[in-house]
Structure 1
Amino acid sequence: MDKQQARDWIKKTFEQPFDKTRFTTFVQELLNHIEHAPFNYHGSYIPDAYRQYISSLERIGKFNDGENRIDILIIKLQKETSLASARTMQRNFVAGYLQGKYGSSNEKEAALVAYVAPDEVDWRFSLVKMDYKFEQAPTGKMKVEEELTPARRWSFLVGENEKSHTAQSRLVNILANDEHNPTLAELEEAFNIESVTKEFFYKYRDLFIRTKEALDELVQNNSNIKTDFEAKSVNTVDFAKKLLGQIVFLYFLQKKGWFGVGRDAAWGKGSKQFLRELFEKK
């Protein structure tokens, strides 16, 4: 497929509530092929340590890049468990699966995981990867130690309330390439959002500069504002910093769902588009 088709696929998959059929088709297109090997673990099959948080583990297939096995999983969380909480526990649950402690006795290098919470329109698409290294024990013998890549570094928060710009920028090239099956290293790079974080700060810096320059022009051309700034020892640099900081904080509160919570509605169920709706007077 071409890149525009790939972007449309990502948008259709990641800007809606989780749908198993849509997710399965997306992963098949992303990896070009998967071996269908479904099973579903729930109830007493979930280890006691995780049963409070995990409702079920479903495998929809397996993929091998020639060196590494990657399983495709859907993990449904318990009702009281949100996507934002207990993420270390969610990651460690997948780690146990990759180590062959439950679900499958074979060790796996990684998993592509959809974390889905009931009654939520957002979900999380993650890459969880096991790394193995050799360490020397006090006895002098070499032993294998597992290192688990933190899931928070390898996740996209997606769904009805989320835009898919980041997922598009990171996954579009892999999805559009029908001839080359991605390697685990390439998937790891796609999920690595460090470059996205840098891009955010570059854009934030540019926005700060534009805001500061607009304030400079406003102060220069409006004597009342200039007098007020001087009387209160306010400069345009500090004003721009504080203004943008307050806007970012408002978006943080909006992300939590703390704005516009309806009467008798659960806390955190406010609109995730509250500021836009307020601006447009909806």
Structure 2
Amino acid sequence: MQEREIKHILTSNYDFEKWHRLIDFVFPKVNFESAIVQLNDSTNKTKYIHQKGDIELTDGKKIIILEVGIKKENNIARTKVGFHNLTAKYIDQANNHGILVFYVPEDKSQPDYRLSFICKQSKFNEDGSFEEFKTNPKRYTYLLGGNESGTTAAKRLKELATKKDGFDFVLENVIEAFSVEKLNDEFFRKYKEQFQIFSNYLVEDEHIRYDIFNINKYEKQEERIDNELPIRDFTKKLLGRLVFLYFLQRKGWMGVSAPTKGNKVIWKDGYTDFIHRLFNEAKRPDKFHSKYLSELFYKTLNNEKREDFLFLIDGKSPFTDNVNRCVPYLNGGLFDDDFSKGI
């Protein structure tokens, strides 16, 4: 199974039949239930908890596969710890050593679902001390579905599947595949790559270097690195702004529908791909920073006096459907207009 096929499953609506194939591809030995196995749950947060099967690892450990139907009043995207507590009780460290669990919304208007890995291990170290490990509910989980990119999860599952080629496919391999620490390392590596690519482009463009950032055209070679500091600062702040907006759009706060007359803005159900959509629908993508991002950063996000918090360019919606949309007011200085024009 190719990574793009895995990603397609992860970014589609939840369908366990497709996951059946993917789980079978990733793990060494999987036993799927032929009928519905209902597990008891005394909480009022779930519609059902079904055991879909189990996974046997080469170290003798077993992971059970659960599907949990979440009642519509609970938000899949925002809740992690509460869901973790619903299912962690099924680990006994004797028969079940871990859980691969799908949290699926009863409300089908919620496009996202959550895949989490839960594990507990206890052991005595060589010095006689007792050690216990638990997966953190905020750190071993992926949000999947139509609003998500699925890129990292697809890559991790593909990497995990390569363990089948050897004789060791152990619990630690699964823990690593879901570890947020590795996610953070990957994020900062890619962030650094993008910083280098973008800042290198800016420093090598003579128009940007000399006309926009006003670097002396007759600079000495040994002065170049110091002279490029304003460009690197610009790059750093731009990427910081985009990362911040990425988290806001994930919450559904960017591009929400404009309110009807006399009503207030409801900050939900905005574009979760706001920045990507803004670029794709821009009439002048070659002016994306100077015309679109500059308007968004310096005249919109930092302007609390906007009528209904509208985001407009040249008095009109920048999106192809021509529907007026809103973005929040953000104070704190991140979107102060403190850089050169023309980029």
In structure 2, the partner of 1:109 is: 97
Distance 1:32 1:13, change over 3 A: farther
Mark the runs of 5 or more structure 1 residues left unpaired by the alignment: 101-105, 136-141, 228-233
Aligned-pair identity in percent equals 28
Confirm or deny: 8 A CA contact 1:6 1:175 kept in the other structure.
no
CA shift, 1:60, in A, is 0.5
Letter in 2 for 1:159: G
C-alpha distance in structure 2 between counterparts of 1:76 and 1:8, whole Å: 27
Change beyond 3 A, Cα 1:146–1:278? same
- Number of the residue aligned with 1:151: 137
Larger RCO (CA within 8 A; separation ≥ 6): 1
Give the superposition deviation at 1:225: 4.5
Matched letter for residue 92 of structure 2: Q
Residues 121 and 180 of structure 1: is their aligned pair in 2 closer, same or farther, counting only changes over 3 Å?
A: farther
| C-alpha distance in structure 2 between counterparts of 1:60 and 1:144, whole Å | 33
Tell me the distance in 2 between the aligned counterparts of 1:251 and 1:220: 28
How far does residue 113 in structure 1 lie from its aligned partner after superposition?
0.9
Provide closer, same or farther for how the CA distance between residues 167 and 242 of structure 1 changes in structure 2, counting only shifts above 3 A. same
Q: What code does the residue aligned with 1:270 have? A: G
The verdict on how the C-alpha distance between 1:225 and 1:235 changes in structure 2, with shifts beyond 3 A counting, is: closer
In 2 relative to 1, CA 111–83 (structure 1 residues): closer, same or farther, beyond 3 Å?
same
Name structure 2 gaps, 5 residues minimum. 216-228, 260-264, 282-319, 321-343
Check conservation: 1:83, 1:124, Cα contact below 8 A: yes
Call closer, same or farther: CA 1:244–1:27 in 2, change over 3 Å.
same
Matched residue, 2:277: 277
Q: Which residue of 1 aligns with 2:246?
A: 251
Identify the match of residue 40 of structure 1 among 38, 41, 59.
Answer: 38
What number of residue pairs does the alignment pair up? 254
Q: Does 1:26 align with 2:26?
A: no
List 4+ stretches of structure 1 deviating above 6 A. 142-145
Is the 2:77–2:143 Cα contact (8 Å) retained in structure 1? no
1:169 maps to 155
After superposition, residues 23-172 of structure 1 pair within 5 angstroms as: 23-37=19-33, 38-41=36-39, 45-47=40-42, 50-51=43-44, 53-66=45-58, 67-99=60-92, 107-117=95-105, 118-119=107-108, 120-133=110-123, 147-172=133-158
Q: Give the aligned residue type for 1:123.
A: Y
Superposition TM-score, scaled by structure 2 size: 0.65
Note closer, same or farther for the CA distance 1:84–1:144 as it changes in structure 2 (3 Å cut): farther
Cα distance, 1:145 vs. partner? 8.0
Q: TM-score, normalised by structure 1?
A: 0.77
Higher helix share: 1
Distance between the aligned counterparts of 1:176 and 1:260, measured in 2? Answer: 41
Please tell me the residue identity of whatever aligns with 1:246. R
Match of residue 170, structure 2, among 175, 178, 183 = 183
